[in-house]
């Protein structure tokens, strides 16, 4: 019989709302957080370009099971557009392809904003992670291939001009759904205004259900990171000793269940919790208990226990959480 491989890292679970600095890739950020927390498992809820800063929700341990719910959440970005030039990447990284001496006034910018709200058709940037015939668009674009990316529907709830520091610059804020490219917004607005444009700065400030108050910086995490005691490896310490060492860091984590605010939530008794942990359905009791729900979650003693569905007053688990 094959010997079971021992998992590396701590069985820590929760959400870390990382304030990603510019220059750091999303995969690099996840690796860094996983190392800092010595976590067994980690993943992020939505890529953020290296040139962008701001909110990158990172799930540790059991929270990785709730990543799809955060990825579907509304996003909010604050971004700066520089008018007068269009670039290959639609941001500062690319080469200039088109230029214009024209500059839009405030009235002209505000006049086109309604065109970009609601459900709109948007063509993603050529330098994006969109797949074309199984290949990433950015790989094809870097290889010099001419590619055509089809337009797709995205939803924009709000687009607002925040500030106009000078004739060549506009700062805007957008609230949008999954799959929206802010770089495409800058490109398309520039074309409509006849002056061209590209993103000069991009910061994600919200990913529902999280907001700016949840931000944790790399400096805060590094300051809280505990050193390994001299002459002692972390793996040789007791679980309690490790937990005590990481207590300050773990205080930055948000409960796994916070990602599921969009779902109906029902508290269950200890006996019901035991049945659910075994994968069995339970009858929900109480005047306010939902009778039907395509998706719902249950809690036990204030902690997330399972995600499932409710049918004829009965909760049927699909995913059970151990922490």
Active site residues per annotation? 49
Rounded to whole angstroms, how far apart are CA atoms 296 and 263? 5
Rounded to whole angstroms, how far apart are CA atoms 147 and 150? 10
Burial 235-269 (b: 16+ CB within 10 A, else e): eeeeeeebeebbeebbebbbebbbbbeebeebebe
What pairs with residue 106 in β-bridges? none
Torsion of CA 119, 83, 50, 19, to 10 degrees: -70
User: Within 10 Å of residue 224's Cβ, how many Cβ atoms?
Assistant: 16
For residues 154 and 119, the answer to whether their CB atoms sit within 8 Å is: yes
For residues 59 and 43, the answer to whether their CB atoms sit within 8 Å is: yes
Rounded to whole angstroms, how far apart are CA atoms 99 and 104? 14
For residues 153 and 163, the answer to whether their CB atoms sit within 8 Å is: no
At 246 the three-state DSSP class reads coil
């Amino acid at each position: 019989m094959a010997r079971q491989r021992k998992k590396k890292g701590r069985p820590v679970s929760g959400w870390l709302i990382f304030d990603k600095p510019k220059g750091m890739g999303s995969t690099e950020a996840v690796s860094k957080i996983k190392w800092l927390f010595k976590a067994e498992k980690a993943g992020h809820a939505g890529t953020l370009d290296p040139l962008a800063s701001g909110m990158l929700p990172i799930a540790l341990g059991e929270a990785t099971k709730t990543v799809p719910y955060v990825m579907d959440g509304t996003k909010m970005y604050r971004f700066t557009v520089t008018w007068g030039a269009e670039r290959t990447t639609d941001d500062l990284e690319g080469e200039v392809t088109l230029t214009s001496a024209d500059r839009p006034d405030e009235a002209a910018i505000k006049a086109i904003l309604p065109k970009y709200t609601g459900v709109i058709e948007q063509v993603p940037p050529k330098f994006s992670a969109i797949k074309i015939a199984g290949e990433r668009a950015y790989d094809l674009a870097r290889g010099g291939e001419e590619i055509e990316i089809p337009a797709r529907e995205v939803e924009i709830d709000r687009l607002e001009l925040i500030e106009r520091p000078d004739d060549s610059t506009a700062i805007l804020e957008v609230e949008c759904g999954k799959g929206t490219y802010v770089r495409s917004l800058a490109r398309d607005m520039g074309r409509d205004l006849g002056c061209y444009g590209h993103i000069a700065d991009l910061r994600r400030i919200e990913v529902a259900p999280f907001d700016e108050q949840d931000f944790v910086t790399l400096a805060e995490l590094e300051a809280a990171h505990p050193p390994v005691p001299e002459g002692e490896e972390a793996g040789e310490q007791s679980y309690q000793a490790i937990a005590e060492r990481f207590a300050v860091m773990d205080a930055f984590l948000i409960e796994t269940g916070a990602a599921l605010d969009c779902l109906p939530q029902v508290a269950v008794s200890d006996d019901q919790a035991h049945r659910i942990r075994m994968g069995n359905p339970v009858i929900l009791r109480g005047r306010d208990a939902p009778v039907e729900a395509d998706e719902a979650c249950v809690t036990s003693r204030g902690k997330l226990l399972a995600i499932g569905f409710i049918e004829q007053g009965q909760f049927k688990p699909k995913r059970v959480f151990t922490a």
